[in-house]
């Protein structure tokens, strides 16, 4: 009797196990539970990549636009340069998770057989603070193809520490999702342009 009862219990267990293995009613739910995290990760990566590419283009646009506006002037003041840099930062909108650094430098190249490039004036914007950058008459460098004697250049450097949305928090007290290695992606561009309306663009109060 005892052996027969045990056999029945074993047989019932095997039957239930076979039914469980053949039951397909929960397969879709299990597959969905596995696939959803992968789909969400792919969605956020695609979204963040497109935003980062667009922001990088805007950082480049800052440099070209600021340089273009400065070289169209016959002369500038500190207030003019500050206003132009403020216009430049507005091109980043609606991105607002970090602020760019913009440096404008007027460069005079000497009239010598071996031309030397020196700073005629400079102005920079870091966050919301405007100030001078390199000291007047200090040496600087330009690409060899632009180092032409007795010429003037305007250099604009635009830089941004890009913060992905999945690592950013409004109060900057914590990051969301990724490690700090990914929450400050450096983007930057440097533009050189020559004056449009005269040989130089002097700054009267820099």
pLDDT tens by residue, 87-102: 999 988 888 888 999 9
pLDDT of residue 117: 95
The proportion of the chain whose per-residue pLDDT surpasses 70, expressed as a percent, equals: 77
Confidence of residue 142 (pLDDT cuts 50, 70, 90): very high
Going by C-alpha positions, the residue among 66, 37, 56, 8 that lies closest to residue 164 is: 56
Q: 124: which 2 tokens?
A: 């920079």
Q: How far apart are CA 61 and CA 186, in angstroms?
A: 16
In this prediction the pTM is 0.75
Confidence of residue 39 (pLDDT cuts 50, 70, 90): confident
Give 101's Cβ-side CA count (13 Å radius).
13
DSSP 133-190: -SPTT-B----GGG--TT-EEEEEEEEEEE--GGG--TTSS---SS-GGGS-EEEEEE
Confidence of residue 175 (pLDDT cuts 50, 70, 90): very low
131: β partners: 124
Q: How far apart are CA 123 and CA 135, in angstroms?
A: 10
Higher pLDDT, 18 or 206: 206
Confidence of residue 10 (pLDDT cuts 50, 70, 90): low
């Amino acid at each position: 009797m005892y052996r027969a009862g045990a056999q029945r219990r074993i047989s019932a267990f095997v039957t239930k196990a076979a039914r469980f293995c053949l039951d397909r009613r929960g397969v879709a739910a299990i597959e969905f539970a596995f696939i959803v995290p992968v789909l969400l990760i792919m969605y956020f990566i695609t979204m963040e990549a497109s935003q980062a590419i667009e922001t990088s283009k805007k950082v480049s646009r800052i440099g070209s636009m600021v340089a273009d506006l400065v070289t169209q002037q016959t002369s500038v003041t500190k207030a003019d340069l500050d206003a132009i840099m403020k216009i430049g930062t507005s091109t980043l909108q609606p991105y607002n998770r970090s602020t760019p650094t913009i440096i404008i430098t007027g460069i005079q190249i000497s009239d010598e057989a071996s031309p030397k490039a020196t700073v005629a004036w400079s102005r920079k914007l870091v966050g919301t603070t405007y100030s001078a950058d390199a000291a007047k008459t200090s040496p600087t460098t330009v690409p060899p193809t632009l180092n032409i004697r007795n010429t003037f250049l305007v250099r604009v450097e635009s830089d941004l520490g890009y913060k992905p949305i999945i690592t950013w928090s409004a109060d900057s007290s914590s990051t969301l999702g990724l490690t700090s290695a990914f929450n400050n992606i450096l983007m930057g561009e440097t533009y050189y342009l020559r004056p449009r309306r005269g040989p130089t663009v002097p700054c009267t109060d820099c």
